[in-house]
A and B are shown apart, each in its own frame.
Chain A
Amino acid sequence: MAINPLAMTAYTVTNALGRGMAAALTALQGGLTGLRRCDFADAVLNAWIGRIVGLEDEPLTGEFTAFDCRNNRLARLALEQDGFRLAVDRAIARYGADRIGVFLGSSTSGIRATEIAYHERDPATGSLPTCFDYQHTHNLFSATDLTRRWLGLTGPAFTVSTACSSSAKAFAVAHRHLQTGFCDAAVVGGVDSLCLTTLYGFNALGLASTALCRPWAAGRDGLNIGEGAGFVLLERAEPGDERILLLGYGESSDAHHMTAAHPEGAGAALAMQQALARAGLAPAQVDYINLHGTATPLNDAAEDRAVLRVFGPHTPCSSTKGWTGHTLGAAGVTEAVFVALVLDQGFMPGTLNTRERDPALGAGVILDNQQYPVKTALSNSFGFGGTNCSLLFGRRNAP
């Protein structure tokens, strides 16, 4: 039986493409990447990254000084775009601050603050500098804590941290909390920012490309790390609702390997099938799939098998990682908001940087942007530990 849809009342995204929805739309429609050669901090890596310019110079101050770190600066920056706070204020007036939950995804939170603190250890004692505030920067809850304080919300709140599916799963969490009456609305989203842990970590695993990432290309050789934040205000859909709706979600575990996706994409297929079942839709009713599409050889191959198994070769799909890089725990919400743009603007983004599809892969990947009145679209997010999440969005009155 289909679930009760949730409406996306307000949404915003900030990443290497710029601040807010207009910047994202301009870059997506214009085929302009946000990726650049690695120039983050003092990293010495032959890599491309999706960095948000200027974050370095925008500290959190006043009552939020304790939260100041790159990740929380990014959260604050994103929260201030596209009138998001005004929409939350209206929701507070309607439901009360204690009836609105905050569920954000993050993979590394403010670990950059700890990296810096370790670098500045006392040479004699090994202690971290006294200005280092673990709770408000590094702890996984910090961006969620900042967000609820920034917006004045007191409902249930926690951080989902399931690697690269984190902020996609936040939508499922919100749906459950509304369905069971713990909340009447929820701010969902995700924040992940550049840090040496992920830049050097993915490099050590041999999963980072030295060139621009090329999802689904024959010679693809890895991902580019990006940073990003996105927020969505979700409320219960009303009869005749014309807003974009979360129609379904699916979550699964691979039960296969810590870093390698299941070769047949078994868990990924299960997540997509669950999302369809919860929406009460058949595969043929989905117009577009935003792939996880990190551009590592194995991940794309596994996702390809999964998409073929569930949808066959004809459903148009693409990866937008060539624009933003892989924003890790923020990828789910980033691409959910891109899907909202797709539904709103009637176009499908192509797969930037990929000029030729890998002939060994069979999903209906499109390379160039196409105009198309998309009514229903799926977004995939998968991560280390074999965690999978698929979200299905659309409009109720889709023909």
Chain B
Amino acid sequence: MNPILAVESVGLLAPGLTGWAASRPILTGEQPYSATPMPPPSAVLLPANERRRVTGLVKLALHVAQEAIDQAGSDPQTIHTVFASSGGDSEVLDKICMALTLPDRPVSPTHFHQSVHNTTAGYWSIATGCRQASISLSAHDGSFLAGLREAATLAWVESAPVLLIAYDAPHPFPLSERRVIVAPFGVALLLNPAPDDQRLALLRLTQTATAAATVMADPGLETLRIGNPAARSLPLLEVIAQPAGQWITLADGGNMGLCVEVTP
């Protein structure tokens, strides 16, 4: 199997990183990074009644997914999806756990069905009409790495494009005291096993046993990288933004890492 994947497009939303086009000069170092507050994600894909019901985390994931699809001009119905998130929707889980401490334990049926890790995948498939295979996964801080590897296997086995969406957001109190996520971060990569001329970059993946991940030189971006599992993608995004080829290592200590060679 040819271990190559083309990155067709990127969706990105985090503090100071508002969309791929605006973020690219920051990632190449042409502009300084500043952690300005993240604009609220739009989930225009959803019908208005659903948009009111879903949490900010779901909107974040749908927002970056749609940016990637729009940038590539792809038909989402044809695209497999991988949703990678360490903790999923802690806002919903917090409400359920709080309700369970009250008399008669009034768990909201809406919160309960939104508590599954594949809630975002469900909303995405309903909104786009996509019936393709979809995986929702977690590997704690290694969730982006696991998602990239799974997306690669799907793309290669199915010879079809795969949309990888990684997203995590700060947990509400009191969970926030036991799991620190410093800021919201959502990224979507549209990956194609059959490279064409429109690509942003070409990735070549190899396994590595090293535990040393590539870090960000900018202190603000490094704070983000270590403070949000989805932001572990930043070194990869940085080299995708560069015009010259480089390689980076994604590792989480324990899980097999990935060495990614990135060429234009």
Q: Which A residues are within 8 Å of any B CB, using their own CB?
A: 98, 107-108, 111, 114-115, 118-119, 121, 126-128, 132-135, 139-142, 144-145, 148, 154-163, 169, 172-173, 176-177, 179-182, 196-197, 200-206, 251-259, 266-267, 270, 383-387
Residues of B within 8 A of A173 (CB): 135, 150, 153
B47 proximal to A (CB < 8 A): no
Contact B136 A160 (CB under 8 A): yes
Report the separation of the CA atoms of residues A254 and B255 in the bound assembly, to the nearest whole angstrom.
Answer: 32
Residues of A within 8 A of B157 (CB): 176, 179-180
Contact B115 A201 (CB under 8 A): yes
B156 proximal to A (CB < 8 A): yes
Nearest CB in chain A: distance from B73 CB, A: 21
Contact with A along B83-118 (1 / 0, CB 8 A): 000111000010011111100011111001111111
Report the separation of the CA atoms of residues A205 and B115 in the bound assembly, to the nearest whole angstrom.
Answer: 13
B175 contact from A133, A134, A251, Cβ within 8 A? A134
* Sampled A-B contacts (17; CB under 8 Å): A135-B140, A139-B86, A140-B140, A154-B254, A158-B138, A159-B138, A161-B136, A163-B116, A176-B153, A182-B256, A201-B109, A205-B113, A255-B130, A255-B131, A384-B113, A384-B116, A385-B125
Contact B133 A253 (CB under 8 A): yes
Nearest CB in chain B: distance from A256 CB, A: 7
Report the separation of the CA atoms of residues A169 and B83 in the bound assembly, to the nearest whole angstrom.
Answer: 14
Contact B207 A182 (CB under 8 A): yes
Contact with A along B219-249 (1 / 0, CB 8 A): 0000000000000000000000000000000
Contact with A along B138-168 (1 / 0, CB 8 A): 1110110010011011101100000000000
Contact A128 B178 (CB under 8 A): yes
Residues of B within 8 A of A128 (CB): 174-175, 177-178
Report the separation of the CA atoms of residues A127 and B174 in the bound assembly, to the nearest whole angstrom.
Answer: 5
Contact A182 B138 (CB under 8 A): no
Residues of A within 8 A of B156 (CB): 180
CB nearest neighbor in A for B209:
A98
Also in contact, A139 and B179, with CB within 8 A (given A176-B157, A197-B115, A385-B121): yes
Contact B93 A267 (CB under 8 A): no
Report the separation of the CA atoms of residues A333 and B230 in the bound assembly, to the nearest whole angstrom.
Answer: 29
Contact A386 B100 (CB under 8 A): no
Also in contact, A162 and B139, with CB within 8 A (given A140-B87, A204-B107, A255-B130): no
Report the separation of the CA atoms of residues A387 and B256 in the bound assembly, to the nearest whole angstrom.
Answer: 28
B134 contact from A114, A155, A203, A387, Cβ within 8 A? A387
Contact B87 A139 (CB under 8 A): yes
Also in contact, A161 and B1, with CB within 8 A (given A98-B256, A180-B153, A196-B100): no
Also in contact, A158 and B142, with CB within 8 A (given A115-B97, A180-B152, A181-B1): yes
Contact B256 A154 (CB under 8 A): yes
Contact B1 A119 (CB under 8 A): no
Contact A118 B131 (CB under 8 A): no
CB nearest neighbor in B for A140:
B138
Residues of A within 8 A of B106 (CB): 204
Contact A254 B131 (CB under 8 A): yes
A384 contact from B86, B122, B125, Cβ within 8 A? B122
Contact B129 A255 (CB under 8 A): yes
CB nearest neighbor in A for B175:
A134
Residues of B within 8 A of A145 (CB): 140, 254
B123 proximal to A (CB < 8 A): yes
Nearest CB in chain B: distance from A55 CB, A: 20
Report the separation of the CA atoms of residues A119 and B175 in the bound assembly, to the nearest whole angstrom.
Answer: 13
Residues of B within 8 A of A177 (CB): 149, 153
B137 proximal to A (CB < 8 A): yes
CB nearest neighbor in B for A389:
B133
Report the separation of the CA atoms of residues A108 and B87 in the bound assembly, to the nearest whole angstrom.
Answer: 11
Contact B179 A114 (CB under 8 A): no
Contact B101 A119 (CB under 8 A): yes
A197 contact from B100, B121, B129, B153, Cβ within 8 A? B100
A253 contact from B109, B132, B175, Cβ within 8 A? B132
Contact A115 B100 (CB under 8 A): yes
B126 proximal to A (CB < 8 A): yes
B119 proximal to A (CB < 8 A): yes
Nearest CB in chain B: distance from A310 CB, A: 15
